[in-house]
Amino acid sequence: MIEGASPVTYTAQGQLDRDALIRQYVPLVRRLAHHMMAKLPPSIQVDDLIQVGLIGLSEALTRYEATQGVQFETFATQRIRGAMIDELRENDWMSRGSRKSQKEIESALTRLEHQLGRSPSESEIAEELGMELAEYQALLYKVKGTQLVYLEDMSGGDDEEGFLDRHMVDGESDPMALLRNQRLRASLVDAIKALPEREQYVMSMYYEQDMNLKEIAAVLGVTESRVCQLHSQSIARLRAKMRSH
C-alpha cells in the first residue's frame, strides 16, 4: 500500500475520478517498473516499462468494480504488472543464447533431480553441464531476467498476486479452469518449499518482502551478483519442477 494513499475517489456523477487516481498511483507504477528492472538486462529501458504500466493503470480504472470485493490498489497492481509482462513477452526481449542457456540449466536440473531424488547442489549442476563452478555461476548471472515472465506470471505474495489471480479477479466462470489454476498454484508453492534454504530466503525477501538486491546481499553477507546467481538458480529449479505439471 502506498504510504498516505487516500481512498478511491469518485466524481459527482458517481464515476471513478480517473485524473486524481492516475496522479495518486503513478508512484506505484514507477515502483513496480524499477523493481522489475532488477531482473532485466540493461537493454530494457525503465521509462518504457513505466509508459506501459501507465496504460495498465488506465485499463484498471476502466475495468475496476468495487463490488468485486477487491481493493483498487490490489487490482491495479495486477493490471500494471500484467501490462509490463505482456509487453516484454510480445517484444521477445530474451536473446536466443540466454534462452538456450536457460533450457540447458533446466534440463540438467531435471536429470539430476531424477537421479539423486533431491535438489542438486551448484557443484553437481556445474559438473552435469561439463563446467567449472565459477563458469556455471557466471552463466547464472548471464541468464538474469530470462525467467521473469514465468515467475511474475505464477508467483505472488499476500499483497501482490500473479497471473492466475489476475484472471480470477476478472471473474473466471469455468470451475474446471479455476481448479486447474489452484492446483498449479499449489504445485508452485510446494516447489518453492523444496528449494535449498538460502534460495528460499532469496525468494521470500525478493518477492514477499519487496527487498532489492542490495538489501538482500547485506542480509546474506554476499555480493549483489551472488544474489543474482541464487535468484536465477532458484527460478531454474522451479521451472524444471513445474515443467512436469
> pLDDT for 177-187, tens place per residue?
555 566 767 77
183 and 237 belong to one structural domain: yes
Which CATH number is 79's domain given? 1.10.1740.10
Of 56, 75, 91, the last residue of a domain is: 91
Q: Given pLDDT bands bounded at 50, 70 and 90, which one contains residue 135?
A: very high
Q: Is residue 130 part of a domain?
A: yes
Poorest-pLDDT segment among 125-129, 160-164, 209-213: 160-164
Q: How many CB atoms lie within 10 A of CB 109?
A: 24
Q: Is 96 exposed, middle or buried (0-12, 13-18, 19+ CB in 10 A)?
A: exposed
Residue from 122, 127, 95 nearest 198 by CA = 122
Task: Assign 93 a pLDDT band (cuts: 50, 70, 90).
Answer: low
| 103/71 same-domain check | no
C-alpha cell at 105: 540449466
* Confidence band for 129, pLDDT divided at 50, 70 and 90: very high
Domain that holds residue 229: 96-242
| Per-residue model confidence (pLDDT) at position 167 | 36
Q: Which of 75, 91, 107 is the last residue of a domain?
A: 91
Does the residue 5 lie in any domain?
no
Residue 4 forms part of a structural domain: no
- Is 111 a residue whose pLDDT tops 90? yes
Domain co-membership, 161 together with 218: yes
Model pLDDT for residues 190-206, shown as the tens digit of each residue:
888 889 999 999 988 88
Question: Is pLDDT above 80 for 78?
Answer: yes
Task: State whether 116 and 226 are in the same domain.
Answer: yes
- Among 10-19, 56-65, 96-105, 134-143, the minimum mean pLDDT is found in 10-19
pLDDT category of residue 88 using cuts at 50, 70 and 90: confident
If phi over 0 gives left and psi between -120 and 50 gives alpha, with beta otherwise, what is residue 210? left
**Rounded mean pLDDT of 164-169?**
38
Domain boundary among 91, 111, 136: 91
Residue 152 lies in a domain: yes
pLDDT of residue 155: 43
Residue 1 belongs to a domain: no
* One domain, residues 224 and 200: yes
CATH code (residue 173)? 1.20.140
Domain assignment present for residue 6? The answer is no
- As for how many domains the chain has, the answer is 2
Same-domain check for residues 153 and 185: yes
Whether residues 112 and 231 share a domain: the answer is: yes
Residue 13 counted as domain residue: no
Query: Per-residue pLDDT tens for 1-46?
Result: 444 444 555 555 556 678 888 889 999 999 999 888 876 766 778 8
pLDDT score of 127: 96
